Structure 1
Amino acid sequence: MLTQIQQLEFDTLATLEEKFEYAKSMHALAKFEEGLSYFRILKTEYETIQQFDRVLDCLGWICQNLANLGRVKELYNYMPEYKSMCNEHGNELNQLKLNVYLAFISSSIGDEPSAISYYQDAITMAKKLNDTKRYLICLLNLQAVYILIKDFEHAYDVSIEVKQAFEKDPEIKTTMSEAAYYLNLMAIQLEWKQINTIEPLFEAFESIPAIDKHKREQMYYQCMKGRYFNELGHYSEAITELEAAFTFIIKTEEEPFLTMILENLITAHENTGNYQAALQYAKAFNKKLLDTQKKRVTNETIKVIKEIDLDSMKQLVYVDGLTSVPNRRHLEKFGAKLVEEACQTNQNMYCTIIDIDHFKSINDRFGHIVGDLAIQQLANVVSDVLPEDCLFARYAGDEFVILVPQQPNAEHYFQQLFSHITNFEFQTAEMCVRLTISMGVASLNDCEVKELLTLLDLADQALYQSKNTGRNLLSLYGND
């Protein structure tokens, strides 16, 4: 959750560009949730002023943060919009980033051949652009995929490329890239039983500047040392390293390291005669296999969807990434058609704008991450009560729009709708938050110019009346 100081720093910055740079700084601090929330806000604000180059940048950072958080489904949902924006407003660098995200998704759902192909394309593009940083990252990620599928020959070939890249340009070395290089090489040498080559790699890893501050990399290192000690028959030392790694990784359930740690812990405890501990880890291992099987079912579903070319999934360009409901682009395109059809058939139509009360104070008090949850929860609540013939879309920030066909008793209908939606609550890990909404409604019959923009403007005036009168209210345009 955002600290109050971080919250104030972001909200009080004077310009969007300052906020953009501040959101980028979250990445260097590994505060991916915060960065994700900030870039979602900025994306909406840049869309409002039609600064599409920055919208594209925000989409890229949203995808990067989702990748760092391992939230594959959400990342996948952003891909069609990102690809569409790349085609309309992007350049080769944006296409390079797109390939990296597609590779990450493919690897996460077990489609390693696609992941390899995307990383290879990205590496080619990075070379062309002389983007040594992304070239190195793609090499290391490609190597990790080869290790995952036990193609150690290709993985070792990539190690040589990484080493050459380090020698050619030492400036591209970071703590994490150097750690990844040595950890991947350890995995290859252990698999090949080249035990005599491992200790120099341990020494090189331990000499990486600031490596002690990187807990995740330290956990991987403990895993490798545990495997190494098992190979030597030093089972007590293996247990010490592996149990330290297990304590860390049990919180994240990362594959394939959790499975590897459990397998090696079972071996080590069996060889020391501690069968009770071996049985305990064997149960955890079996549970992990069952969980992996369940996860595989979900991933296979995503994989089937992914096999459809993104160009044939244009409808996903019209889906809001945060809430999974239609977005503003969808409303402006298809809502305008609905209004036009209603006019042609002399049917009335209603436009409702919904807004969370005191949303800024929610962000100020609880942080933008909780604010995102509030927006998601409101979208869920509204989606659950709306009939299929309504068009529901996220318009901007915490504002949603509903287009409702002609109703015989409109005032009663919207009063019922309002009572179902307001006073909703949602649970976070730390608190229960109860929220209210304000609603404004206008109809085509209220419009002099019968078009969507006019309808939205009148509904917005009715919403303002609800806000100005005291909030947690429904107002119909023209009613005092």
Structure 2
Amino acid sequence: MTDELLTPMREKALQLRVEGRYKELIEHCDVLLEKGLTRQDHKAVLCAHIHHAAAFYSIGAIEEAFLSVDAHLQYCSQYGDENEQLNGINILVILYDYNKDYTKAKSALMRGIEMGTRLKRWNMVSNAYSNYSHICASEKEFEGALEAGLIGLEMAERYNPDSAILSFRVKLNIANAYVGLGDTDRAGQMIEQMLADPLLDTHKREKTHCYDLYGRYLVKTREYASAMKAFDVAKKEALDINDLLLLKEIQERRCDLCEILDDRQLGFVVQQEYIKLLKMLQQQELAKTALKLEMKHNVAAIERNAKTDFLTRLFNRRHLEETAASWLAKATEAGSPISCVALDLDNFKSINDTYGHLAGDEALRVICTICRTVLWKSDSTELLARYGGDELVFLLNGASRADAADRVHHLLAEIQKQGITYNDELIPVTVSIGIADNSNGLFTRFSELFYRADQALYQSKANGKNQLTVYESPVLQ
């Protein structure tokens, strides 16, 4: 479901990202994520996660960026399509590249290539092959870099409408592979053509990379004075786009070149520029650290949202199943009990039909509040979650069926005392409950445990509702 009211917020997120206003982007995506979850706008939620990842990456908060990518992929597996999965893979590759985890980067790229090919998203496939070429070059595998680059160029030519910048980016990686292989004839021809391309007038980042590549090519051909001029242009362009990490690489190449040229005067100037740059990078790192600390509470909120049901503020099904799997694995080893309580509102459809869905939501929220107050005593050994619809699950680690039944009898009494008032009208609400346990480690999967608690719940429904039933394992003959 897409809420058109959130479309401007999604558009603003993209605008903030393009403008590099990352602090504002993170704060904006916090709001977008909350609204998206509340209104069940899946596009808004996915948009918030992917822009969160990009913003955290850009301020150097790599761990938080990975969390956002993971949240995007998990949510995408339920509500997204393969196009959204491709977006997640693209961000993931950038993070792997940053950490120099080239094996994972290549694996992610191959998934993206397979998916993009199936969807005939040739621009995405071309971009993936281009990135694969870059990764290979980083590993000094220039043959592989060339092969991937050439395929990427073929994919770019399949893309309709034509995209000059898509092809240009692939050509940069192809020319880089030729330089790495020492094939200066092919490299020189390609780079000269790219330098003459009017596209560089409007694409500063590509212009920076092109002149940096040109400088490295000229070093290979021992044209050192011309190489310095190329690096000078690359330095200026890197300053214009404020890419300090690329600028650092260019300045290091200029320093090395000064030694080759034996130009001490120029070498002193370049060294001073390099020292100044290092100080700028240090200040930038301090600013990033401050920003990361400032955003730390926002990251915690994102993690909570990923585990929490938007309506009831209880844990969601995903967190329930993950926790249950961990508890059951340990309980199986120890032979210890885990009890599962399945709870369902009686006549919930009738409430919605008679009083409206807002009344149903209010009834569910009130029941959840009572359950939280009466049942939930410990965060470390108990978990209360919304399983789906109007069904709740209460998990007790280390408690028997009898222990769970004692707690639930008290809950039934409390619910009968409470009335649900909506628009000044009293709405009667009761619940049916089923209880089962893992037979001291016999059941190892949550699906097995929940199935039996659910069976007991439906027995309560069949017996007249407003009661609990404890599941009794059949006696083996």
Task: Tell me which interval the TM-score lies in, with the shorter structure as reference length.
Answer: 0.5 to 0.7
- Unmatched tracts of structure 1, length 5 or more: 1-13, 296-318, 348-447, 452-480
Q: Which residue of 1 aligns with 2:218?
A: 229
TM-score of the superposition, structure 1-length normalised? 0.54
Of the three residues 128, 131, 135, the one matched with 1:138 is: 128
Structure 1 position 270, deviation (Å): 2.0
Q: Which residue of 2 aligns with 1:333?
A: 314
Structure 1 position 216, deviation (Å): 1.7
Q: Which residue of 2 aligns with 1:203?
A: 192
- 1:342 and 1:26 map into 2 onto residues whose CA distance is 42
* CA 1:265–1:21: 2 relative to 1, 3 Å: closer
* CA 1:80–1:30: 2 relative to 1, 3 Å: same
Q: Which residue of 1 aligns with 2:155?
A: 165
Instruction: Say if 1:230 and 1:264, in contact at 8 Å, map to a contact too.
Output: no
Q: Which residue of 2 aligns with 1:59?
A: 49
Alignment map for 1:332-411 (pairs within 5 Å): 332-333=313-314, 340=371, 343=374
* CA 1:120–1:191: 2 relative to 1, 3 Å: same
Q: Secondary structure at the match of 2:262?
A: coil
Please identify, of 244-253 and 105-114, the stretch whose mean Cα deviation from structure 2 is larger. 244-253
Q: Which residue of 2 aligns with 1:470?
A: none
Q: Residue 87 in 1 paired to residue 77 in 2?
A: yes
- One-letter amino acid of the structure 2 residue matched with residue 253 of structure 1: L
Q: Which residue of 1 aligns with 2:10?
A: 20
Alignment map for 1:4-403 (pairs within 5 Å): 15-24=5-14, 31=20, 33=22, 38-64=28-54, 72-169=62-159, 171-175=161-165, 177-249=166-238, 251-254=242-245, 258-259=248-249, 261-275=250-264, 277-278=266-267, 284=274, 320-321=298-299, 326-327=304-305, 329-330=307-308, 332-333=313-314, 340=371, 343=374
- 1:219 and 1:112 map into 2 onto residues whose CA distance is 24
- 1:345 and 1:163 map into 2 onto residues whose CA distance is 59
- 1:179 and 1:241 map into 2 onto residues whose CA distance is 19
* CA 1:38–1:194: 2 relative to 1, 3 Å: same
Structure 1 position 123, deviation (Å): 0.5
- 2:215 and 2:134 map into 1 onto residues whose CA distance is 19
- 1:182 and 1:132 map into 2 onto residues whose CA distance is 16
Structure 1 position 155, deviation (Å): 0.8
Identity value in percent: 16
TM-score of the superposition, structure 2-length normalised? 0.54
Comparing both chains, which one has the higher relative contact order based on Cα–Cα distances under 8 Å and sequence gaps of 6 or more? Answer: 1
- One-letter amino acid of the structure 1 residue matched with residue 48 of structure 2: C
* CA 1:185–1:341: 2 relative to 1, 3 Å: closer
Structure 1 position 344, deviation (Å): 5.5
- 1:346 and 1:134 map into 2 onto residues whose CA distance is 50
* CA 1:122–1:207: 2 relative to 1, 3 Å: same
Structure 1 position 65, deviation (Å): 5.3
- 1:49 and 1:31 map into 2 onto residues whose CA distance is 28
Instruction: Say if 2:89 and 2:112, in contact at 8 Å, map to a contact too.
Output: yes
Aligned pair count reads: 310
- 1:346 and 1:32 map into 2 onto residues whose CA distance is 43
* CA 1:277–1:346: 2 relative to 1, 3 Å: closer
Structure 1 position 120, deviation (Å): 0.6
- Unmatched tracts of structure 2, length 5 or more: 286-296, 317-366, 379-416, 421-477
- One-letter amino acid of the structure 2 residue matched with residue 101 of structure 1: I
Instruction: Say if 2:146 and 2:174, in contact at 8 Å, map to a contact too.
Output: yes
Instruction: Say if 1:320 and 1:327, in contact at 8 Å, map to a contact too.
Output: no
* CA 1:268–1:168: 2 relative to 1, 3 Å: same
- One-letter amino acid of the structure 2 residue matched with residue 91 of structure 1: D
Structure 1 position 25, deviation (Å): 5.3
Instruction: Say if 2:116 and 2:124, in contact at 8 Å, map to a contact too.
Output: yes
- 1:133 and 1:345 map into 2 onto residues whose CA distance is 51
Once the two structures are superposed, residues 263-305 of structure 1 have per-residue CA deviations (whole angstroms, 9 ceiling, x without a partner) of: 43234212332135446757959x97xx99xx9xxxxxxxxxx
Instruction: Say if 1:343 and 1:450, in contact at 8 Å, map to a contact too.
Output: no
Structure 1 position 148, deviation (Å): 0.9
Structure 1 position 119, deviation (Å): 0.3
- 1:345 and 1:202 map into 2 onto residues whose CA distance is 67
Larger radius of gyration: 2
Structure 1 position 36, deviation (Å): 5.5
Structure 1 position 131, deviation (Å): 1.3
- One-letter amino acid of the structure 2 residue matched with residue 223 of structure 1: D
Instruction: Say if 1:182 and 1:204, in contact at 8 Å, map to a contact too.
Output: no
